[in-house]
Amino acid sequence: MVFGARSSTGEIRKWRAKGVLLAQLRDMHAIDRRTFLISIAGALVANGVASAKSGPSVIMLIRHGEDEGQRDYHLSQRGQQRSEALPKLFGSRLPKPDVIIASRATKGSNRPVETVEPLARALGLSIDHQFRDDDFRALAERLLLDGRYDGKAVLVCWHHGKLPKFAKALGVKNAPAWPDDQFDRVWVIEPTKQSARFEDVHQKLLDGDR
């Protein structure tokens, strides 16, 4: 937009608020005016780049704690021990989450919610458990596009059968399978525009963790 003698006071104040120095364009030579407009364009580009950077700073995926079998509603004793040990992991070796999400309880399992309850209490956070186990793609889309998660560290606790596809929905290429007997990992994902950075981190919280 070219500002001239007819520019309103409101427009001028608006651009001053953005840190753009206005000059009296009517008194400028053509070369000066072109230079001035280029400087405005540069300022707008810089502002656009800054505002375009969005999305969570990191998304961490974990499986619920141990159980006695696929149909157990609650965690086993070892699973409870793992849930109580999680606060030692986040804030020390891994980022402290700003948001905690767990898959919604079903008739057969409340294990994801139970796994993150001690951590949520320790951090004074609520647990978002509105998404069903099969809704991981919808959750991935929300995390990547919803401005409420911009710059946040997000922890998600899910059932392991969906985690590789969940990671893929977040931009991870060639996510590995999650073994049936593995409970002691954290998948750390840093979303980018092209794909996502991925790291498989060992929790090392309980005896016997790999």
Q: Give DSSP secondary structure letters for 15-37.
A: HHHTTPPP--GGGS-HHHHHHHH
How confident is the prediction along the chain (210 residues), in pLDDT tens digits per residue? Answer: 444 444 444 544 444 444 443 344 444 454 454 554 455 445 444 444 334 458 999 999 999 999 987 678 999 999 999 999 999 999 999 999 999 999 999 988 999 999 999 999 999 999 999 999 999 999 999 999 999 999 999 999 999 999 999 999 999 998 999 999 999 999 999 998 778 999 999 999 999 998
pLDDT at position 95: 97
Helices of type H across 18-155: 30-52, 77-89, 111-123, 136-145
Q: Give DSSP secondary structure letters for 170-201.
A: TT-SSPPP--TT--SEEEEEEE-SSSEEEEEE
- Quote the pTM value: 0.75
- Give CA–CA dist 20/16, Å, rounded: 5
